């Protein structure tokens, strides 16, 4: 989806009906999944992953893990009781979506993608960042 006039692609997935719900639990499993995903799509970790547990409402309990990439960021939020997860990958580098779904199948077994969005970000991104930033600031100050 990325072309020369955008900064990069932003993929978001909501997956449900995850067969192997145990794969959604625990700090190591969730962060290991994120590290493997980043490796599979050919990116590099700058910082993280940082992984934390949400312990609130029993149906909303789960784990979140985020990594800052040299190419942008990647995050996952899991809900073991619901058998669901959200995945977010943003990058200035193109990445193979099929590699992501293959890894998710390996880890989670069967699942359903109930929401998917692939969006170009940074429309009209070009080589003259200072000029573009000045133009953006001007449009913001006019509002």
Which positions are catalytic?
A: 72, 77, 92
Percent of residues in the chain assigned helix, strand, coil, to nearest 5: 30, 35, 30
Number of H helices, E strands in the chain: 3, 6
The count of C-alpha atoms lying within 13 angstroms of the C-alpha of 6, restricted to the half-sphere facing its C-beta, is 15
């Amino acid at each position: 989806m990325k072309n020369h006039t955008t900064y990069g692609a932003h993929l978001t997935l909501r997956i449900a009906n995850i067969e192997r719900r145990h794969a959604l639990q625990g700090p190591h499993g969730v962060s290991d999944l994120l590290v493997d995903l980043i490796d599979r799509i050919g990116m590099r970790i700058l910082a993280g992953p940082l992984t934390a547990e949400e312990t609130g409402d029993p149906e909303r309990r789960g784990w979140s893990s985020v990594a800052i990439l040299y190419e942008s960021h990647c995050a996952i939020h899991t809900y073991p009781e619901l058998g669901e997860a959200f995945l977010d990958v943003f990058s200035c580098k193109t990445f193979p979506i099929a590699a992501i779904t293959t890894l998710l199948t390996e880890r989670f077994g069967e699942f359903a993608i109930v929401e998917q969005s692939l969006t170009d970000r940074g429309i009209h991104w070009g080589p003259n960042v200072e000029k573009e930033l000045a133009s953006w600031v001007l449009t913001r100050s006019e509002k």
